[in-house]
Amino acid sequence: MEERNKLAVLIDADNINASICEALVGEIAKYGVASVKRAYGDWTTDQLKPWKSVLHEYAIGPMQQFSYTKGKNSTDSSMIIDAMDLLYTERFDGFCLVTSDSDFTKLATRIRESGLLVYGFGEQKTPDSLQAACDKFVFLEALALPEEKEGGSEGSSKPTRRKTKKELNQDAKLVGLLRGAVEAAADDDGWASIAAVGSHIANQSSFDSRNFGYKKLSKLIETTELFDMEKRNVRGNNAYDLYIRDKRTM
């Protein structure tokens, strides 16, 4: 049996909506086993009432943190201290930090410096500094994406809006990331498998295509119209692999 990564899941409940918990737990299960699940906040307040039923349903441990100073979120220090305690046990392969607060940027960096994976989950407002400090960062709004259909991705749960071709191509950072990954993974003719491109991107950034409104990297790349795409039957069966090439190399 394949051994899965052991993960510590730490949730900033003061700043995360409880309604996302089901999708969040399902997403985390893709990366490993949540050996520890803790949610931090002042559980004496009405603000966290929606979380209380969720805690029992998903076996999340509530960690009490009183707000000693009015208007000041004191959850940060409690999460950071616990994270470091868990890190020093050397029992985990990675951490899942569920927060949109840039104050956790240094924590994410410190965990990665110890050789562990860091998966970040937060709202679209999350500062770039925290996103970049994680191995992978997923917008919580992206977890609400419906199945991809022609004509857009509308849904009742306010998912991440799908970026248009113009918006994608105006994002110089995104275009540079895609073109750089294709170039790095390309053969002598400029063609690269989508799998190799995805792996190269994952090794150098916290990129997730869902943050742009696309469940699949291939669909995002297709929308840009910057790359040629072709299917190849390279395994001698009915399965096809997708290959792409930067149109500038033609």
pTM summary value: 0.77
In the chain, the domains with their CATH numbers are 6-144 (3.40.50.1010), 165-249 (3.30.420.610)
pLDDT at 48 over 50: yes
* Mean pLDDT confidence for 92-109: 96
pLDDT > 60? residue 152:
no
Sign of CA dihedral 17, 23, 28, 31: negative
pLDDT value, residue 239: 77
- Looking at residue 65, its pLDDT comes to 80
Residue type at 87?
L
Q: Residue 244 is inside which H or E element, if any?
A: strand 241-246
Confidence band (pLDDT; 50, 70, 90) for 150?
Answer: very low
Q: How far is 65 from 68, CA to CA, in rounded Å?
A: 9
Q: What is the pLDDT of residue 3?
A: 77
List b or e across 75-110, with b for residues whose CB sees 16 or more CB atoms inside 10 angstroms.
bbebbbebbeebbeeeebbbbbbbbbbebbbebbeb
Q: Is the pLDDT of residue 70 over 60?
A: no
Which residues does residue 230 pair with via DSSP β-bridges, in sequence order? 243
Share of the chain above pLDDT 70, in %: 88
Average pLDDT, the chain: 88
219 versus 75: the higher-pLDDT residue is: 219
> What is the model's pLDDT at position 147?
53
Least confidently predicted of 3-17, 26-40, 104-118, 197-211: 197-211
At 187, is the pLDDT very low, low, confident or very high (cuts 50, 70, 90)? Answer: very high
* Contact criterion met (CB below 8 Å) for 80 and 107: yes
pLDDT (0 to 100) of residue 74: 61
Averaged pLDDT, 42-54: 89
CA distances from 83 to 29, 97, 210, 219, 227 (A): 20, 9, 27, 36, 42
